[in-house]
A and B are shown apart, each in its own frame.
Chain A
Amino acid sequence: MTKGLTKINLVALTFGFAFLYIPILILVFFSFNESRLVNVWGGFSLKWYGELFRNDDLLGAAWVSLILAAATSTLSVVLGTVAGFVMARFTSFRGRTLFSGMIYAPLVMPEVITGLSLLLLFVSIDWGRGLGTMIIAHTSFCMSYVAVVVQSRLVSFDRSIEEAAQDLGATPFKTFFVITLPVIAPALVSGWLLSFTLSLDNVVITSFTSGPGWDTLPVKIFSAVKLGVKPEINALSTIMILIVAVGVVVASLIQKRAMVERQRAERLAAAANE
């Protein structure tokens, strides 16, 4: 059924999207404000972007955040893919309930609890806090997101091609790497990107598990915002929003192209069968 939007649906969408987007747009708009005040338009200016790029403290923190996010998302994709595979394919093994609990609980667990518990673990095994502990801490919740994404992809997976590969003599491992992995690759890409943004954004768990000298960008922004509203933060936010928007659009274009290609391949295969 593809009838147009009814009036009430249109109102719901307009209201919802206005609510979601107006604050973000205001932030972007005032990043180009000449005035230091956020409620007075003092003319167009890029000066806050200039200030931002002269702020070595923030740039250093941004660098830490990027390294942390890249390492976290890579480790999360590896562990999360295996976890998602286990959830989707091994329906009965001892401890599966606990395993599924450990996958789903991090999705909703309040961050203060996860952060405190990881800190106490690191302290009690005397593991000095730094980049390593932050990567572990971020991975412990990011991998759950990857696992869920991969699991739902595997559930809708046509297993007959895996069976065909195994009938032709491929080992389970070879089948996984040659057949399964390429098919679920888009899920891995979205899992990686999701982990990247979650890690890049985290304040609470980072503050618990980071060591001195390893302040990340969100932690810096957090302390700056606590002290008050600053136009540099608007400029920084605009840059981050821009990067995310470009990333999401590019990712969706890639996914769309992959889908078109797959459909073409399927049509070709169907034609060859006739």
Chain B
Amino acid sequence: MSAGDDYDDRPSAVLVSGDQGGFAEWLHVRLVRARLGWAAPFVLWLVGRFSGKGMVIAIPYTFLFVFFLVPFLIVLKISFSETALAIPPYTDLVEILDDGFDYYLTFKLNLINYWTVLSEDTYVRAYLNSAKIAAISTALCLLIGFPMAYAMARASESIRPMLLMLVILPFWTSFLIRVYAWIVILKTEGGLLNTMLIALGIIPPDEPLRILSTEWAMYIGIVYSYLPFMVLPLYANLEKMDLSLLEAAADLGCRPTKAFWSITVPLAMPGVIAGCFLVFIPAVGEYVIPELMVGDNVRVIGRKLFTDFASERNWPLASAVSVILLAILVVPIVLFQRQQARLQEAGQ
């Protein structure tokens, strides 16, 4: 600090320890210049309490903790309460009873919601059905996405950025619009596909194809919406591959098909795994696609959860449904997180 500056609150800077003095001093000058000198001691005390590194970590940590983790704990709590005609529409776990003489603190863990979910056939079937649909959709995404990503990665370097942009572009356009586009195409009465097939005489006019409102619509919707999530990690992986390995294999007499299966595919596994997680996990809980394209014919858990919450106004039941859904998905989520962390560290 040079003499003659227009601040003299030096004692507060003493609170700041060690190597963070630079920032504290900078902050102090800024605060004083902004005529907020009165706030300086408090802010400096805060900075002094935590090291600079601690502060930097604390900002996003606190946000995610409060708005991502704590909400799950609240869901867990409410899943043990009962639905009630009140605002908010559930009972408290902890109640203070007053019988005129004494106060009693009661604590009730209600398991009825879990019992409902695990014993009722509709719920069990909805979970299984969602998992099945998500798994088949993931496989279909891989089937379409892998050849695409492979072809992109092996295309000449000059057109690769353009191909990449072409994959990303639909991902940036609204998901809702893309689902809507398929409704226009697949509608049974007056849909484009049926109009075309009837005009070409492939199907009789009185027997249009029923695709919307069936499981097929789920597969088309999910594969179409999530395909970029499969292609992008696969492309990132295949593009980095060392092609001299294939040349070495060819030199040693390995046929291209065999080289593909014994070199390219194993090396692409991290991309395959990342892509599969990115499609499978959100697809299990998908709500918009079943709501718009399928309706009541195919029961899936995301839609069941939303109906329990919105139409039935049974928040505790919806909470129990989502706790169980999360319990099912926690293993893939943790595996995904571990894999991503490992990939990032390998990059370092």
Q: Identify the A interface with B (CB < 8 A).
A: 1-6, 8-10, 12-13, 15-17, 19-21, 23-24, 26-27, 30, 37-40, 79-80, 82-83, 85-88, 90-91, 93, 95, 98-114, 116-118, 120-121, 123-124, 136-137, 139-140, 143, 147-148, 151-152, 155-156, 171-174, 197, 200-201, 203-204, 207-208, 218, 221-222, 225-226, 229, 233-234, 237, 240-241, 244-245, 247-248, 252
- Whether A241 and B173, one on each chain, are in contact in the complex, defined by CB atoms closer than 8 angstroms, is yes
The answer to whether the Cβ of B94 comes within 8 Å of any Cβ in the partner chain is no
Please report the C-alpha to C-alpha distance between residue A261 and residue B47 in the assembled complex, in whole angstroms. Answer: 39
Best-surrounded residue of B64, B175, B194, B319 (most CB of chain A within 10 A): B64
Bitwise, B140-159 to A at CB < 8 A (1) or not (0) is 00001101101110111100
Bitwise, B158-173 to A at CB < 8 A (1) or not (0) is 0001010111111011
Q: How far is the CB of B267 from chain A (nearest CB, A)?
A: 15
A237: which of B177, B310, B318, B332 is its contact (CB, 8 Å)? Answer: B177
The prevalent SS among residues of B at the interface is helix
The answer to whether the Cβ of B215 comes within 8 Å of any Cβ in the partner chain is no
Please report the C-alpha to C-alpha distance between residue A124 and residue B316 in the assembled complex, in whole angstroms. Answer: 13
Q: Known interface pairs A39-B192, A112-B302, A172-B52. Does A13 touch B148 (Cβ–Cβ under 8 Å)?
A: yes
Q: How far is the CB of A166 from chain B (nearest CB, A)?
A: 10
A110: which of B75, B228, B286 is its contact (CB, 8 Å)? Answer: B286
Please report the C-alpha to C-alpha distance between residue A38 and residue B176 in the assembled complex, in whole angstroms. Answer: 18
- Whether B184 and A30, one on each chain, are in contact in the complex, defined by CB atoms closer than 8 angstroms, is yes
Query: Which residues of the partner chain A approach B152 to less than 8 Å between Cβ atoms?
Result: 13
Q: How far is the CB of A230 from chain B (nearest CB, A)?
A: 10
Query: Which residues of the partner chain B approach A88 to less than 8 Å between Cβ atoms?
Result: 344, 348
10 contacts between A and B (CB under 8 A): A5-B155, A8-B147, A86-B60, A98-B69, A110-B282, A139-B67, A143-B64, A204-B306, A240-B177, A247-B172
Q: Known interface pairs A152-B344, A244-B169. Does A82 touch B56 (Cβ–Cβ under 8 Å)?
A: yes
Query: Which residues of the partner chain A approach B191 to less than 8 Å between Cβ atoms?
Result: 38-39
Query: Which residues of the partner chain B approach A101 to less than 8 Å between Cβ atoms?
Result: 334, 337
Please report the C-alpha to C-alpha distance between residue A82 and residue B70 in the assembled complex, in whole angstroms. Answer: 21
The answer to whether the Cβ of B322 comes within 8 Å of any Cβ in the partner chain is yes
